Amino acid sequence: MPPGESTSLREHLFGVHHCRGALHVCRYVYAHCHPLLTEELVGLPGQQRCAILYATDPEALNSSVLSGQFARRIGRREAAHSSGRPPCRGGGSRRRIREGFLPGSLKLSDVGTLWNAPQRMRAGTERGGISDMQMHKLADGIYALLAQIGAPEGDSNSGLVVGNREAALIDCDIRRWDDMREQIREVTDVPIRYLIDTHDNFDHASGNVIFDPGETVIVASEACRDLLARDPDGHRTKIAQSGAFGAADDCAELEERLLPDIAAVGLLTLHLGGRVLDLVPVGHAHTAGDMVVYLRDEKILFAGDVLFEGCHPVARNARLDDWLEVLSSLRQWPISRTVPGHGAIREEYENIADMEDYFQVVRSRVRELKDAGASASEVQEKIDLDEYADWGKSGWVPATVRKLYEGLP
């Protein structure tokens, strides 16, 4: 079913344990300011206030708890700022919010700024030449940042949704941030309040470490957060070795910076000014933690790597049958345009149809060769996909072939 209205905030947080629920939210999400936290209370300028989700009645937010617990965190953050280092999280900083404490309509306040640390970012395309990442306007305040397939700094796409006073960024590759930041500045100067990870792959989630945890809330599916915590692909090592986040001995907080603040286990609706973003975990397609972002009014789908366009999909961690089911379910949504994780923007269901056709073609040819007695390695060598000869990422075809081969009886 297409995204619709999600459970209300009051239904999530109120009831017998409403005070306890409110304090869970305050403890785990601290990127914005509740009116109760005045400058006198925490002794800080407005843009460095402790972050609280405006979740419930003032009576449910005990000022003595807030002034003690959160002022200590702000003190640590102030010390980090004065030393010139990015703010280091405390042990309780970014943690999972289970469904019982997750607001259906996440509306946070409008304070905070994007941490700007160019001295720590050496990666990205030089702006002096022609960029291989281009920004495309989809609607007022809605943009796709499209990378050229095969670009040396990574070819994943990102999205930007700009509200009246804050913005949401969809996916960020740390290698591309310098270029992305310059292009974002050309269209808006509002702070990036939310960073949405569509899944855990390095080229979509490594940029998490760039953002100040006191000023940007990172959102992902629960399964994506779990994968980032286990880090089977070695993201932490790659980031540390690249030098993009600074010297390893200066980055003890990298471990926590990588992890999302909010782990969605169901539909999460983000209200950004007059825009409505449905964040929908779709299950295990390309990865175990895939999530898509659907702009309800504009009917624009930011699909992450659930969709690839003009290039072979990466299926090394995929469940291909489930992936096809996800594609089929997306056809039930009213969609005007799709932005894939890699490749070009397409109209309506064109990209979905191409992906379905691709998997069906490859599966049928793998089946023919397997039925003829070919081994998996032989199928990888012999399979004929000439109609996709102009698609990029051909190096990923063997992994898809083996995945399909192993799934056939």
1 assigned to some structural domain: no
Q: Are residues 255 and 329 in the same domain?
A: yes
Examine the domain organization and report whether 239 and 298 are in the same domain: yes
The lowest-confidence range among 119-128, 253-262, 294-303, 329-338 is 119-128
3-state secondary structure of 39: helix
Angle formed by the axes of helices 350-371 and 397-407, nearest 10°:
60
- Looking at 58, 83, 108, the residue that finishes a domain is 83
Out of 299, 315, 348, a domain closes at 348
Contacts of 44 (CB under 8 A, 6+ apart): 50, 74, 78
* pLDDT attached to residue 244: 67
pLDDT of 239 reads 85
Please state, in angstroms and rounded to a whole number, the distance separating the CA atoms of residues 27 and 95.
9
Are the C-beta atoms of 124 and 151 separated by less than 8 Å?
no
Strands (E) in 179-312, as ranges, are 192-196, 217-221, 262-264, 268-272, 275-283, 290-295, 300-308
pLDDT at 256 (0 to 100): 77
Residue 255 has a pLDDT of 76
pLDDT for 232 = 86
Enclosing H/E stretch for 162? strand 158-162
Q: What percent of the chain has pLDDT over 70?
A: 66
Q: Is pLDDT at 173 greater than 90 in this prediction? A: yes
Ramachandran angles phi, psi of 230, nearest 5°:
-80, -30
Query: Rounded CA gap, 50 and 38, in Å?
Result: 10
pLDDT score of 106 more than 70: no
**pLDDT over 60 (residue 248):** no
pLDDT classification of 1: cutoffs 50, 70, 90: low
Domain limits for position 235:
99-348
What percent of the chain has pLDDT above 90?
Answer: 58
The confidence score (pLDDT) of residue 305 equals: 98
Residue 274 sits in the same domain as residue 125 = yes
pLDDT of residue 233: 87
The one-letter code for the residue type at 127 is R
What does each C-alpha distance from 254 to 158, 165, 193, 211 come to in angstroms? 22, 28, 20, 11
**How high is the pLDDT of residue 251?**
56
Q: Is residue 90 part of a domain?
A: no
pLDDT tens-place string over residues 62-101: 332 333 333 333 333 334 434 443 333 333 333 333 333 2
pLDDT > 60? residue 31: no
pTM of the entire predicted model: 0.70
Distance from C-alpha of 72 to C-alpha of 69, rounded to nearest angstrom: 6
User: Which of 61-75, 151-165, 187-201, 366-380 shows the lowest mean pLDDT across its residues?
Assistant: 61-75
**Together in a domain, 129 and 209:** yes
Are residues 59 and 169 located together in one domain of the fold? no
**Extended beta strands in 2-119, E state:** 105-106
DSSP string, 123-137: -S--TTS--SEEEEE
Question: Who wins on pLDDT, 167 or 125?
Answer: 167
158 assigned to some structural domain: yes
The pLDDT, as a whole number, for residue 273 is: 85
**Domain holding 328: CATH number?**
3.60.15.10
Within a domain: 93 = no
Asked if residue 105 lies in contact with residue 8, where contact means CB atoms within 8 angstroms, the answer is: yes
Same domain, 145 and 274: yes
Same domain, yes or no: 135 and 257:
yes
Residues 6+ apart with CB under 8 A from 341: 156, 157, 171, 198, 204, 286, 303, 304, 305, 306, 307, 308
Same-domain check for residues 115 and 14: no
Q: pLDDT at residue 182 above 60?
A: yes
Does residue 92 fall inside a structural domain? no
Over range 132-141, report the average pLDDT.
94
Contact 199, 289 (CB under 8 A): yes
| Residues 371, 333 share a domain | no
Q: Please report the pLDDT score of residue 4 as a whole number.
A: 52
- Same-domain check for residues 340 and 388: no
Average pLDDT over residues 108-116: 28
Number of structural domains the chain divides into: 3
Domain ends where: 348, 372, 387? Answer: 348
pLDDT for 5 equals: 41
Together in a domain, 20 and 152: no
326 and 386 together in one domain: no
What does the pLDDT read at residue 207?
A: 94
Is 111 part of any domain?
yes
Q: How confident is the model at residue 245 (pLDDT cuts 50, 70, 90)?
A: low
Q: Is residue 196 part of a domain?
A: yes
- Whose structure tokens read 């700024």? 113
Helix (H) or strand (E) holding 350: helix 350-371
Q: Rounded mean pLDDT of 203-224?
A: 94
Q: Decide if 89 is inside a domain.
A: no
CA nearest 178: which of 120, 121, 116, 254?
Answer: 121
Predicted pLDDT at 364:
97
Q: Each residue of 138-162: pLDDT tens digit? A: 999 999 999 999 988 889 999 999 9
Expressed in angstroms, the distance from the first to the final Cα of the chain is: 31
Per-residue pLDDT at 329 exceeds 60: yes
What mean pLDDT do residues 358-384 have?
Answer: 96
21 pLDDT exceeds 80?
A: no
